């Protein structure tokens, strides 16, 4: 990942959770619950959450499961907030690059990520690394944005994405340009079918896709 994107996430860390709640009308918590359900966690399962940010997906997992969780992110500012939130010290927090995971092959029972893939330099490399560190029959669950499909709602969705969200970012944060980038990365990201094909090429099977928020959010889940 580029240093520019890394710097951007360091700069928006303090406002990240607040913006997520506002931009998604609070629905992001529902999507995280769905991610954890799809991960198929069991007692003492070993979970890796990539692009963990401030730890929302891990805390959702710990709320419902007795798991051994590791959160990985390349933004130290995000991880500092995650560590502060982890008052019971139930998770391990690691600064590292999702394209070069510092783990042995076949290390995890489940792997989750939220808004990682649209920010990596190589989607293929990211999924290949995830495949490598997953155990056989382990599950991968990827939550990310997806470009709005061509239908009657698309013009209104584009207005919200390209005008309203940057305006909200300007009002609520000190870094509105970051949210302009995030919207650009959403519009130009792979669609669900293209992402599925990359996952297949990397070796994943039983791929399931679920869309949310008028088709602008998608969860891809699969098995190694």
- Residue range 54-108, pLDDT digits in tens: 999 999 999 988 999 999 999 999 999 999 999 989 999 999 999 999 999 999 9
The domain spanning residue 26 has which CATH number?
3.40.50.150
Residues 175, 28: Cα–Cα separation, whole Å: 21
Residue 112 included in any domain: yes
pLDDT for the residue numbered 179: 65
Residue 183 included in any domain: no
Residue 155 included in any domain: no
Cβ atoms within 10 Å, residue 54: 24
How many domains in the chain? Answer: 1
Do the strands 217-223 and 205-212 form a parallel or antiparallel pair, or are they unpaired? antiparallel
pLDDT for the residue numbered 164: 74
92 against 2, higher pLDDT: 92
The domain of 101 spans 3-148+190-223
Token pair 């190694």 is at which residue?
A: 224
- Residue range 173-205, pLDDT digits in tens: 666 666 667 677 777 789 999 999 999 999 999
Residue 53 included in any domain: yes
């Amino acid at each position: 990942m580029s240093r520019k994107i890394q710097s951007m996430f360091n700069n928006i860390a303090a406002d990240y959770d607040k913006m997520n709640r506002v931009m998604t009308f609070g629905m992001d918590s529902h999507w995280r619950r769905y991610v954890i359900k799809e991960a198929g966690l069991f007692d003492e399962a070993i979970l890796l959450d990539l692009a963990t940010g401030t730890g929302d997906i891990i805390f959702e997992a710990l709320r419902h499961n007795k798991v051994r969780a590791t959160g990985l992110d390349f933004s130290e500012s995000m991880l500092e907030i995650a560590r502060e939130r982890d008052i019971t010290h139930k998770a391990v927090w690691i600064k590292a690059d999702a394209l070069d995971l510092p783990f042995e092959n076949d290390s995890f029972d489940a792997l989750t990520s939220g808004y990682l893939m649209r920010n990596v330099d190589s989607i293929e490399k990211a999924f290949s690394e995830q495949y490598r560190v997953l155990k056989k029959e382990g599950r991968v669950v990827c939550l990310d944005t997806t470009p709005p499909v061509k239908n009657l709602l698309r013009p209104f969705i584009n207005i919200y994405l390209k005008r309203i969200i940057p305006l909200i970012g300007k009002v609520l944060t000190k870094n509105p340009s970051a949210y302009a980038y995030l919207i650009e990365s959403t519009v130009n990201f792979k669609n669900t079918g293209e992402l599925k094909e990359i996952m297949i090429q990397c070796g994943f099977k039983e791929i399931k896709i679920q869309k949310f928020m008028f088709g602008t959010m998608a969860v891809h889940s699969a098995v190694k």
